[in-house]
Structure 1
Amino acid sequence: MPLPFLTADRAFDEAADVALPFDDRDQWRRPYRPGPYRVGAAALLLLLASYVLFAAVIIAVAGDVAAATVCGVLAVLIITAALRLLRMGTWVSARGLRHVGFLQTRTAPWAQVVAARTVQQPVRWLGLPRTVQGQALVLVRRDRQGEQTTLLTSHGADFLGRSTAFDRAADSIEVWTEEYRPQS
């Protein structure tokens, strides 16, 4: 089974001289690989879901179909959360820039993008309330009167302890921005 989210770094490594290494630029792509903390959390959720599914089977064999259904629904919710956790991040295509969060997705067409730039600022550590000094890739949009939206941080689940991966991902998104946003 192909895993397209794992090909981002390989495509970048194979085409190191090309800023935008993808042939089909109309397809939404995450220009970086999910980090080990994000993948580890999703793996733990899937492990928990397997135990809940096993419990649902045992409960169903014991004869309590209603409780087995509840366990099955809970397992499906856990699996959905794990898959959504893996899908989170910043995606780019020729149509715009998309920031996928756990509960919502925001898409900015290139016509609305003023800039995407890396700044030094306090960032949240693994998305928790604690902040540390780090780098962030911020998006400035026309329709939000210059308000900055943080897309990536150097201390997020994808880049904690992987500063070169953050630099590569931020550079790649900045190149996509320069390539597709309208010049004013």
Structure 2
Amino acid sequence: MGSSLLLSNFPQISSANFVACEKSTKPKKKFQVGCFKTPNNSSWSQPSLPSCGVLHKSVPLAASVAFLLWSSPANAGLMSGFSGIESIPGPQLPQIDFLNRLNEDNQKKYAEFDERFKSSPLLKKLLEQSKLNKEKNRQEVQDKYCIRGAEWGVGDCSAEGMTPQDRENFIAMLKQKAGVK
């Protein structure tokens, strides 16, 4: 039933072109895919056993691909093309003068608080202290890496060409400058 339904949907495919594959005890020969005509006569010849496996795998795949490509899209009915409830604007709510005035007063009050805080001496002091700490921390990190580079003999602070005594003095001077013991 399935093959007759398939063939009725695809009239250009004739059922006479397909040959059923049978198991054979003959030794395997060359791979031949599909049905072929023999040069001696114009009749169809049965393919060899290995090509039957390929044929059995390729025909259902081809039919599935053809079915997918030729099928018409499904209609979703009422919901088809409907963009959704969120695209519809809600009703206009009544405006209450008391709430509008309260909202405006709160907005003004918050803006004043923000201005007062931004111009406060405490915030200015904290921002200045933050800038100083940032520079101090940057210098501490730079000194730490310079000391490490001198000890390992790499980087800008390398003590590679120095004598052992000069190297010790140089590293001690870097540690003293950085405040490291």
Q: TM-score range by the shorter chain?
A: under 0.3
Greater radius of gyration (CA)? 2
Q: Which has the higher strand share?
A: 1
Q: Which has the higher helix share?
A: 2
Name the structure, 1 or 2, with higher relative contact order (CA <8 Å, separation 6+): 1
TM-score, with length taken from structure 2: 0.20
TM-score, with length taken from structure 1: 0.20
